[in-house]
Amino acid sequence: MREREGKVAVFGMGYVGKALAAVLLRAGFSVVGVDVSEERVRELNGGIVRHVEERVREALKRGLTEGRFAATLDGVGAARSCRVKIITVPVHLRGGWEPDFSSLLAAVEAAGRGSEAGDLVVVESSVPPGTTVNVVKPALERWSGLRVEDELLLAYSPERVYVGRAVEDIEERYPKIVAGVGPRSTEAARRLYSAVARRGVIVMSSPTAAEFEKLAEGVYRDVNIALANELAKLAAKLGLDYAEVREAANSQPYCHLHMPGVGVGGYCIPVYPRFLLHAAAKVGLRLPLVELAREVNLSMPGYTADLVDMVVGDMGLSRPRVAILGLAFRGGVDDTRLSPTYDLVDHLLKRGYDSLVVHDPYVASDERLEAVGVPLLSDLERAVEGSDVVVIATDHPQYAELTPEQLLSLSKRPRLGIVDGRLVVRDWRRLPAGVYYVGVGRPLVRGS
């Protein structure tokens, strides 16, 4: 076997790219990680792996020590040294709606220029339906000078990972979806992923079908969360606990209500509906349910700010200090991409709340908060001390352990308002004197 036979170039060393590289290394492959960030490449080659998962950090460090992993800025060189090239770089949105393929095409160009006949290129990025066939394929043929399927193999295989358990998802939890532009490409991709996915490989009829499948997963969750948010608002108005209603309803096997919250973040669920809406518009179709779900979920930071107003008004406060707990878009991770906390901060600032602080146990610094003059703290006691209102914006496990009594004690105030944006507070109906509580899906309750 030639030296490049057992090597894989992974384009994009973000959350997904690092996790995929780790899984490949664990399966015995050698990996070259490609990224445009000089700092990230320098850190990786120096053994500094910034990732929430210990197994990812361990695999990359071990691969580096064993000489089976290296990071580089040179995508063409990486492609030339590897038989397989996997692209995980994101497709961003331009102007809120239009997909921006520039990063994807830059990776395709490098992969194409470094390809030989018989090589395999796989796109794992989430993309609008038709991207692999209509955007990637012609670009790959142009830059490689090879005919796709006849000389160069091309497939689509969507990443299906949950940040925080990506290694488990790829290796054990989910089957891998693959679809090539032809039978040879499909078989090559199937064989590649069969080496890492213990749940097996699902072969779909076309890359476009596989692209659509990935987006459908995310849009299902976006619509379900929007429904949860609507039901939560009504439950609160009726004096009910949405969490109680949800638990009982989900005991029926055909019901799977999600949890409500401050909003939907991350670079998946908020973006995938836009890709589907873009594809629908190109064929003259509207998807009103998908559009409405996006509107509902985008409105939730403003709704949470309304709850802050409610508590502040009920307490008769004039210039309250507000502590927001959680900047990451989801509990237990440090990923702040499209976090609804940013929108919540913007809403509160526009409403005149000029004494804000954000706490997160996983995020050390943040340029967006610095730009608007809002401190980001990692010390919970320091963040809550002196606060009149605490807003729980992220379901970090540390926050689920807090009781109203503890928060009141940490605030060192005689009274404290709690806005529970993730319904993590227990015993919220039995509050100590001086605590005012309201949740996204729970009514306002005063301690006595």
Helical (H) or strand (E) element with 56: helix 54-66
- What does each C-alpha distance from 307 to 79, 403, 436 come to in angstroms? 52, 19, 11
How far is the C-alpha of 75 from the C-alpha of 284, rounded, in Å? 38
Average pLDDT over residues 156-167: 91
How far is the C-alpha of 112 from the C-alpha of 240, rounded, in Å? 58
- At the topology level of CATH, where does 212-448 sit? Rossmann fold (3.40.50)
In tens, the pLDDT along 225-247 reads 999 999 999 999 999 999 999 99
Closest of 310, 202, 324, 312 to residue 262, by C-alpha: 324
Residue 255 is a catalytic residue? no
In tens, the pLDDT along 104-155 reads 999 999 999 999 999 999 999 999 999 999 999 999 999 999 999 999 999 9
How far is the C-alpha of 115 from the C-alpha of 136, rounded, in Å? 14
pTM, full prediction: 0.92
How far is the C-alpha of 448 from the C-alpha of 439, rounded, in Å? 18
How far is the C-alpha of 72 from the C-alpha of 294, rounded, in Å? 38
pLDDT given for residue 3 in this prediction: 61
Helical (H) or strand (E) element with 8: strand 7-11
- At the topology level of CATH, where does 3-205 sit? Rossmann fold (3.40.50)
pLDDT given for residue 12 in this prediction: 97
How far is the C-alpha of 231 from the C-alpha of 269, rounded, in Å? 20
pLDDT given for residue 267 in this prediction: 86
- pLDDT above 90 coverage of the chain, percent: 94
pLDDT top residue among 97 and 177 = 177
Q: Where are the domains of the chain?
A: 3-205, 212-448
H helices of 70-206, in order, are 75-81, 102-113, 131, 137-144, 166-168, 183-194
- 133 by Cβ neighbours in 10 Å (0-12 / 13-18 / 19+) ranks as middle
Q: Which residues of 357-393 are buried (b: 16+ CB within 10 A; e: fewer)?
A: bbbbbbbeebeebeeeebebeeebeebbeebbbbbbb
Tell whether the model's pLDDT for residue 1 goes beyond 50. no
Average pLDDT over residues 170-199: 96
Question: Residues 362, 336: contact at Cβ < 8 Å?
Answer: no
How far is the C-alpha of 341 from the C-alpha of 391, rounded, in Å? 10
Catalytic residue among 82, 85, 137, 268: 268
Average pLDDT over residues 390-396: 97
In tens, the pLDDT along 338-365 reads 999 999 999 999 999 999 999 999 999 9
Closest of 166, 16, 137, 165 to residue 88, by C-alpha: 16
Tell whether the model's pLDDT for residue 96 goes beyond 90. no
- pLDDT above 70 coverage of the chain, percent: 99
Q: Hey, how many other C-beta atoms are within 10 angstroms of the C-beta on 239?
A: 10
Question: Residues 430, 403: contact at Cβ < 8 Å?
Answer: no
Catalytic residue among 214, 237, 255, 350: 214
pLDDT given for residue 94 in this prediction: 87
pLDDT band for position 4 (50/70/90)?
A: low
Residue 268 is a catalytic residue? yes
Average pLDDT over residues 64-80: 97
Closest of 385, 376, 323 to residue 353, by C-alpha: 323
pLDDT given for residue 2 in this prediction: 47
Q: Hey, how many other C-beta atoms are within 10 angstroms of the C-beta on 247?
A: 11
- What does each C-alpha distance from 93 to 88, 97, 99, 220, 353 come to in angstroms? 16, 6, 5, 20, 31
Question: Residues 128, 99: contact at Cβ < 8 Å?
Answer: yes
pLDDT given for residue 95 in this prediction: 78
Provide the mean pLDDT of the chain: 96
Closest of 218, 215, 309, 231 to residue 264, by C-alpha: 218
Residues in the chain: 448
The answer to whether domain 3-205 and domain 212-448 are alike in fold is: yes
Angle at 26 between CA 25 and CA 32, to 5 degrees: 5
